[in-house]
Structure 1
């Protein structure tokens, strides 16, 4: 039995060797495999760019207008005395004054002399009136006795009434001279800022001559010209931002709207209060200024300003495609706030616009996208917050 097992094992091993040798010779006889062709070189990106997604932002709705800056109310301060010499001028242009403050004074010597004379005349009239009153009283006591005629009694009573009238006239003259004395001081009629001065020391002015002009309460106003079609969008209390020629900006509010429209220009005036004229050094009465009425806020689709490419008088966005090529899209732009621009044209929901390098690309260009530092830091910040 052992011999039979050995012979069987040897036969199996011999068969296996024959099979291996046959396979070797078969493989050796096949022609060598041809080497695989290498793929063509991949297309190279033309530019490395950054991309961003459009965002919904809250933007203010404004209405632009132009107009002049003027004083809210300008008071003319003049002289009420005639023939007096101006002795002192206490204020100059730009000075802030309070109501009742002395702005200038006139020489008061002649007025004081007239006041003294009026007082003396009044004293004389009162003495004469007292004597006439006593005489008339004595005459009336003798009326019943018949010792004095009725004609004489009437004369004494008439003299009494005449003397009293002279007293009243003397009092009126004295009051007028005292008013002249008070008018030797020019007083401010209200709080405000002196805007003009014509008063000169030593000059003799007549009544009604203007000496100063004053911006009442230091308030200016912007008289904006608004077209009749846009007038309905503005109401009293609407805030506005006024910008002067120098670039200074001042905030104000609509005080009133003119009830009529100019038939020539079809524009209406809107009066915007500008308080604190001294603090708003960038605006002066007589300036021409532009401004914007703040009408509210609305939601808008915005993109970075660098992604908007102006070409041939139109604006374009370069949208990144799945194959890393860009597609040029003509768009309409709207409001601009900071570095964001409103896009009024509908964009795809998953749109990504090229930001950095957009101006150097054409439709169909292949690009390589890199993450911006802000975009790369955002997922890390979110992960840290979690």
Structure 2
């Protein structure tokens, strides 16, 4: 065998060996992650969930009743205060000067009144001696009345000036906690400008926002459950207030729940989840999110996840639609896991992975 053919033979043997070592490529099974709900659970639509915050029943926006420059701030956000406690102070030098001026005006008015009353006394003595007429006495009496009125006016102006001076001190109007304060030394504020917020002690509530498509459901809810994020406690509550007009920025409606029982461990600002139990649902019907429905050729289906984490299409009969949920009247059993997202991307027998709820 010539060297050329020997080389070709060796190359052929090498290629055959490599081909034999090559393993057959197996197709990789696609596993699609899905979200799901358990049929018959609260998440399936017989309730609505909202995020809320623990707030005080009574909250006051505190402001100075006069304008001025802030001299000092006596409290910080989060401080507990008592009724009448000093929170902040304005520069009151201008009001002190005004009070001094009003005092001088009152003294002048009182001196003029005393002089006019003394003149009236002499006029009456002269009248008894027939040195003056009765008309002169009457004119003097009118002058005395005017002097008395000026004294009363000056007295009232002095009281108002002293009140203005007292308003340079911002006081707490009830026991509670300072939830926020913006007054800082050197800051110039106008009369009525809110500089602090006081959450009064006592009753606690849950504040949350309701989207417009859930207003009717919340208003007609049969009950409310409030779950505290901090410790997982669940408390009963009742609806106290639901705004009639939407917020101009968020386009949601502000709502307030009163906690039926609470203690000092329910602190202001705590996060809570609010569950509104919807009223008027058919107890024999299960409810699912609308996103779980697959409509094909006029029929309704859902994807059910079995114990092997595979999905199968299941025909169902539907009932009334309420907001974002739909009633399932036949074809589904309570406790079955139903896919709620990506229903158009699945196929029968496909393996899925369950995302956390």
Aligned to 2:62: 77
Q: Secondary structure at the match of 1:122?
A: helix
Partner of 2:310: 311
Pairing of 1:229-308 with structure 2 (within 5 A): 230-231=217-218, 233-235=220-222, 238-242=223-227, 251=235, 252-257=237-242, 270-273=255-258, 279-280=266-267, 283=270, 290-293=273-276
Structure 1 segments unaligned to the other structure (5+ residues) = 1-58, 299-306, 316-330, 335-340, 344-386
- What is the CA distance between 1:197 and its match in structure 2? 1.8
Matched, 1:180 2:167: no
CA contact (8 A) 2:207 2:254 kept: no
Q: What is the rounded CA distance, in whole Å, between the counterparts of 1:159 and 1:183 in structure 2?
A: 36
Deviation, structure 1 residue 209: 2.6
d(CA) in 2 for partners of 1:219, 1:89 = 29
Question: Do the aligned partners of residues 233 and 127 (structure 1) sit closer, same or farther apart at CA in structure 2, a change above 3 Å counting?
Answer: closer
Provide TM-score, normalisation by structure 1: 0.51
1:127 aligned to which of 111, 116, 125: 111
Q: Which stretches in structure 2 are left out of the alignment for 5+ residues?
A: 1-41, 284-305, 315-330, 338-357
1:309/1:196 Cα in 2 relative to 1: closer, same or farther (>3 Å)?
same
d(CA) in 2 for partners of 1:309, 1:282: 44
Tell me, in whole angstroms, the C-alpha distance in 1 between the residues paired with 2:269 and 2:168.
37
Contact 2:218–2:276 under 8 Å retained in 1? no
Task: String of CA shifts for 1:261-297, please: whole Å, max 9, x gaps.
Answer: 99xxx9976532356797346735xxxx64323579x
C-alpha distance in 2, partners of 1:131/1:258? 64
What secondary structure does 1:93 align onto?
coil
Map 1:343-382; keep pairs closer than 5 Å.
none
* Native 8 Å contact 1:96 1:194 kept in 2: yes
Q: How far is 1:191 from its partner?
A: 3.5
Greater C-alpha radius of gyration: 1
Describe the superposition over 1:13-64 as per-residue Cα deviations: whole angstroms up to 9, x where unpaired.
Answer: xxxxxxxxxxxxxxxxxxxxxxxxxxxxxxxxxxxxxxxxxxxxxx9x9622
SS of structure 1 residue aligned to 2:127: coil
Match of 2:153 in 1: 169
Taking a change above 3 Å as real, the CA distance of residues 104 and 259 of structure 1, as seen in their structure-2 partners, is: closer
Q: Does 1:192 align with 2:176?
A: yes
Structure 1 residue aligned with 2:193: 209
Distance of aligned partners of 1:234 and 1:202 in 2 relative to their CA distance in 1, 3 Å threshold:
same
Under a length normalisation based on structure 2, what TM-score does the superposition of the two structures give? 0.55
**TM-superposed deviation, 1:342:** 8.7
Count of residues paired in the alignment? 255
Task: After TM superposition, list the pairs within 5 Å mapping 1:329-344 onto structure 2.
Answer: 332-334=332-334
Report 1:57-72 matches (<5 A). Answer: 63-69=47-53, 71=55
Change (3 A) 1:185 1:232: closer
Q: CA deviation at 1:247?
A: 8.4
Distance between the aligned counterparts of 2:147 and 2:111, measured in 1? 9
Take 1:149 and 1:268, find their aligned partners in 2: how far apart are those partners? 79
- Decide whether the 8 Å contact of 1:194 with 1:213 is kept in 2: yes
> Is contact 2:54–2:205 with CA below 8 Å preserved after alignment?
no
CA contact (8 A) 2:61 2:197 kept: yes
